[in-house]
Amino acid sequence: MAGTPTASPLSTGAPPAKTLENFDRRYANRVMLLLGGIVMVVLYVEGMLTPSLPTIQSDFGVDTAQVTLVISAYAVSGVALSPVVGKLGDIYGKRKILIGTMLAYAAAVSVTGFSPNFTFMVASRTIQGVGLTILPLGMSLVREEFPRELVPRAQGLLSALFGVGFAISLPVGSWVSQDYGWRTTYHTAIPVVVGLAIAVLVLVRESEYRRPDTKVDYVGAGLLGGALAGIVVALSQGQVWGWSSPLTLGFLGVGLALFAPFAIWERRWTRRRREPVVDMVLLRERNVAVTNVV
């Protein structure tokens, strides 16, 4: 069982370096296997949802514009929470935050299949958005557990699982949803999600890289979350509202406009020698950039 980490928090801005000679290959591969399993189960749940929208719409008696909220609510909360969750991982430890997000996701998945009404389902889907924060946390764990030479390969493999996982989960989730109902898809995911959360608790060590003195940039996170949320809502609802409708253009315009104050605020925040919500230098790395775009 993973114990309390004995390493003291680091004061540097980079994770402790692993080398090809001293890194724990078995443990690193175990972390990769768990992260891959988490990605697959999240994609399994999401893969069944889109083809199930007509059934969900009929079950709850909502219109087309309303039913798409089960998609956009998840996406908006996910993109808004990602920068905050990532920074909390630096402060309190990535294992601890990963377990917290897994438990929140497991709870949301557990109740969504029993949704008594549409409002309840949208609310639980909003909580499920924490599932989108798992991959960035996983990427950070990979950077700590693998030697620098192997990090791009490991991160690339984790990113590739998104495409492979979605290609597999879409037909499987669609089959379960169509033959047994969309609620059954959620029910079948519950034991897997809970099992993975327990596996992380038992098998994953706390990250050695901690920054307890770091201050979370909630203003920057809010501006970035608002910008991304506006764009996500416009893209997810545009087909329903019409791409030239005032609502679509309004959300898109607000989202794009918020990037300006976000950039200004982040510059001021960085000048105070505090860590920004998004490390623009880190985004130059291909695998990190691809992950955030996905």
Helical pair 286-293 and 134-145, crossing angle rounded to 10 deg? 160
- How many angstroms separate the CA atoms of 140 and 274, rounded? 19
Query: Tokens representing 163?
Result: 């495409």
pTM of the model: 0.75
Query: What confidence score (pLDDT) does residue 278 get?
Result: 66
> Distance between CA atoms of 242 and 288, rounded to whole angstroms?
33
Per-residue confidence at 119, pLDDT binned at 50, 70, 90? Answer: very high
Classify residue 201 by its DSSP letter: H
pLDDT tens, position by position, 154-195: 888 888 887 787 788 778 877 877 888 889 888 888 899 889
Over residues 270-293, the pLDDT tens digits come to 777 676 766 555 544 555 545 455
Instruction: Name the token pair of 41.
Output: 């189960």
Residue range 22-77, pLDDT digits in tens? 677 888 888 888 988 888 888 888 888 888 888 999 999 998 888 988 988 898 88
- pLDDT reported for residue 108: 93
More confident residue, 244 or 138: 244
Task: Give the tokens for residue 130.
Answer: 């924490």
> Exposure pattern of 43-68 as b/e (b: 16+ CB <10 Å)?
bbbbbbbebbeeebbebbebeeeebb
CATH topology assigned to domain 25-212? Growth Hormone; Chain: A; (1.20.1250)
CA–CA separation, 192 vs 207, rounded Å? 24
- Judge whether 68 and 237 are in contact, CB under 8 Å: yes
Q: Give yes or no for residue 240 having a pLDDT over 60.
A: yes
Give residue 257's pLDDT band: very low, low, confident or very high (50, 70, 90): very high
pLDDT at residue 5 tops 80: no
Query: How close are the terminal C-alpha atoms of the chain, in Å?
Result: 33
Residue percentage of the chain with pLDDT more than 90: 18
How do the domains of the chain map onto residue ranges?
25-212
